Copies of this chain bind each other. A is one copy, B any other.
Amino acid sequence: MERVDKILSGGIVLTMNAAMDVFVNGAVAIKGDSIVAVGTADAIAEQYLADDLVLCDGQVIMPGLVNTHTHVPMTLLRGMADDLRLDVWLIGYIMPTEQSFVNPYFCRLGTKIACAEMIRSGVTMFADMYYFEADVAAAAAEVGMRAVCGQTVLKFPAPDAASYEESLQYTRQFIQTWKGHPLIVPAVAPHAPYTCTDEILSACAALAREFDVPLIIHVSETRQEVEESRAEFQMPVVPRIKKLGVLDAKTLAAHCVHLDSGEIRTLFNHRTGVAHCPTSNLKLASGIAPVREMLERGLNVGIGTDGPASNNDLDMFEEVRLAAILAKGATLDPTAVPAKQALLMATRMGAQAMHMGEITGSLEVGKRADIIVVDIRTLHNSPKFSRDEDAIYSQIVYAAKSTDVRHVMVNGVWLMRDQQLLTVDEAALLAEANALAEKIDQFLIAREGDLLNKLIAIGGVERAESFEIQVKSHLPQRVDAEAFVAPLLSDPRVQVVRKSHYRQYDTYFTFNDEAQGRVRYREDDALNAEGEVTHVRTRLTYTSPIKEREFDRAVLLSRSQFIAPATRPLRFYREYFRASAEYEVHKTRHRWHILYKGVLFYLNVDELLLPKVDGTFVEIKSQTWSMRDAEYKATLVSELLALLGMTEELRVHKEYIEFATA
């Protein structure tokens, strides 16, 4: 007889191993953090002894569920805002709340609540992507859960980093600190192809390869993302990230809703794991992922709840069930993704998708003891049929609930026994969460008075710009625009992408409380070569009152702008915003989109008609996402000015509205 630490005996053991072995009256023996034996209860009883013997009659002993995609600290934002347009939800609620509240404390608290909820619902491992991921890791480790923790990197300022260089540095340090931990696997998480530049994606891929850690990324979640990728990069999402080396890492791609067959093949060839998030994809109206095709291609497709702000829970039982039935509805084939396959996705295959298949995801000798016991004697799970061997999978997937989970063990350590959590003080956490929710409520109520939210409320915003490089000069004389820019455009380093000619009628709404920022209603009349109006576009732009920062050679406007289509008449906005004052600015504009040394700039040659100002204005602008990039582009702007023959003295710092208010 061999002495081991724990034996679970007498239940139906679903090994989820390659042979999908099932032991109807089975047992599992555990020593330290690992499984030392799996078999019939009799065979285990003959060979092993343990003080901690758990009898599991009438219950199912199986690998813990694997949640392959979530943002655990967002438990603290659950139910804060629902049933909204994605832009309104994200830009109007989630992002501002995150900017104001997300800090290490928030992340630890939210993670612990998430861990408690996941343990209760039978999850033993999860893949996370959020900010302050070192705190997520610390909290998960403290609770005793297994996790792949992905530190977010993106081109916008984030709660834990003002620029992407900062977050890349933070990620490197995070990986160095946590690599080799028995429960936590650190990872780098470039947020998504549309929120990262090529440079960011390449740098993240290099970092993941340098440390041989997983890389987590959102991929092709919405149709819009794919369309924009095609427009900007002339290819869909997967080829782009492949080119940048992202798939050469141990990559886990979340969502993958809008992939074509070629992209699916590419992911297979690179052993990229997929996290399928059916609830989130439905609730946010993203679409339905081609799960069956991905599975048929041989991809490792796991299942994820996504963050609890968009789900709104972390219940993997609901998620597995939905994955199984949604695939049938989507393919119009009731045999698609049967229960057995769905449960495999939620266990071993999910672990493989996370590149953790070597150590967990099934009950096999040598793997870590990540085990749950599910009570299927409940009313909603009766009766029990035995004819069909696969009926047990169907019971777990279609009828069992998360609340049927009785015991949970991770790495050989009990985290829940008889539905009592052993490593988390639920009541204390809930009290803290509710106190924080009250503060967030207050913050949002105050915020709803402000201008940006009023804008969002009536139609959403189309684009948010965080940083813009801008320089403006004034030539005292009227010039012919084409002739004036000719020397610049003939430079071999300059390539013209687009040329347009407008008359612009701007109405500015300003407010006595300058902290409100201001709103501009613009009518763009596009002109053809004969000066006739070919089409008209109206847009709203909100400009925040954040002050600008000046560089040596140009101006960096850290001013954030939100642009929305103006679908209603000016009169509506006038009444809606109730501005303190209103100003008109009319001008003509020749605009070139040019690439200079491969960087996109906007070159405007303007005549101010109202208020009437003599001479010609020349503007050069470019969008930017990091301080280093901004400095580099400021240098390029100086070079462009030199090519135009514009000297330092011609520089003006006034915005057009200031001519009207003067």
Q: Are B334 and A86 in contact (CB under 8 A)?
A: yes
Q: When chains A and B are docked, how far (Å) is the Cα of A116 from the Cα of B378?
A: 11
Q: Majority SS of interface residues in chain A?
A: helix
State which of A12-20, A200-208, A433-441, A550-558 sits at the interface with chain B.
Answer: A433-441
Verify if A83 is at the interface (C-beta below 8 Å from B): yes
Instruction: Scan residues 524-545 of chain A and give those whose CB is less than 8 A from a CB of chain B.
Output: none
Give the chain B neighbours of A81 by CB distance below 8 A.
388
Q: Is the CB of A328 within 8 A of B282?
A: yes
Given contacts A79-B391, A82-B338, A312-B395, 15 further A-B contacts (CB under 8 A): A80-B387, A83-B334, A83-B390, A113-B379, A117-B379, A121-B380, A282-B329, A283-B398, A285-B328, A312-B398, A315-B380, A379-B430, A382-B430, A387-B444, A401-B402
Smallest CB gap from A377: residue in B: B430
Q: Mark A85-97, 1 if CB is under 8 A from B, else 0.
A: 1100100000000
Q: Cα distance A93–B34 when bound, in Å?
A: 42
Q: Across the two chains, which residue of chain B brings its CB closest to A116?
A: B379
Q: Is A311 an interface residue (CB 8 A)?
A: yes
A399 at the interface (CB under 8 A from B): yes
A325 pairs with B78, CB closer than 8 A: no
> Is the beta-carbon distance between B83 and A430 smaller than 8 angstroms?
no
A383-B434 contact, Cβ under 8 Å, with A83-B394, A334-B83, A336-B285: yes
Known: A82-B394, A328-B284, A403-B401. Contact between A382 and B113, CB under 8 A? yes
Alpha-carbon separation in the docked complex, A334 to B282 (Å)? 8
A120 touches B379 (CB 8 A): yes
Most buried by B among A82, A325, A394, A426: A82
A325 to B434, Cβ gap below 8 A? no
Alpha-carbon gap, A335 to B388, bound state (A): 42
Instruction: List the 5 shortest-distance A-B pairs measured between CB atoms, nearest first.
Output: A282-B329, A383-B437, A83-B338, A312-B398, A282-B325
Assuming the contacts A283-B325, A313-B380, A325-B283, asked whether A334 and B84 have C-beta atoms less than 8 A apart, the reply is yes
A572 interfacial by beta-carbon distance below 8 Å: no
B334 lies within 8 A of A284 (CB): yes
Residues of B within 8 A of A85 (CB): 334-335
Instruction: Check: A333 CB closer than 8 A to any chain B CB.
Output: yes
A460 shortest CB reach to chain B, Å = 10
**Judging by beta carbons under 8 Å apart, are A78 and B339 in contact?**
no
Contact mask for chain A residues 297-340; partner B; CB cutoff 8 A; 1 contact, 0 none: 00000000000000111110010011011101101111110110
Q: How far is the CA of A385 from the CA of B101 in the complex (A)?
A: 15
Contacting pair B430 A329 (CB below 8 A): no
Interchain CB contact under 8 A, A398 and B313: yes
Q: Does A279 contact B (CB under 8 A)?
A: yes
Shortest distance between the CB of A374 and any CB in chain B (Å): 14
What's the Cα separation between A489 and B76 when bound, in Å?
Answer: 79
Q: Kindly list chain B residues whose C-beta atoms are within 8 Å of the C-beta of A438.
A: 386
The yes or no answer to A288 lying at the interface (CB within 8 A) is yes
- Cβ of A338: which chain B residues have Cβ within 8 Å of it? 82-83
- Evaluate contact between A328 and B283: CB separation under 8 angstroms: yes
Closest residue of chain B to A341, judged by CB? Answer: B83
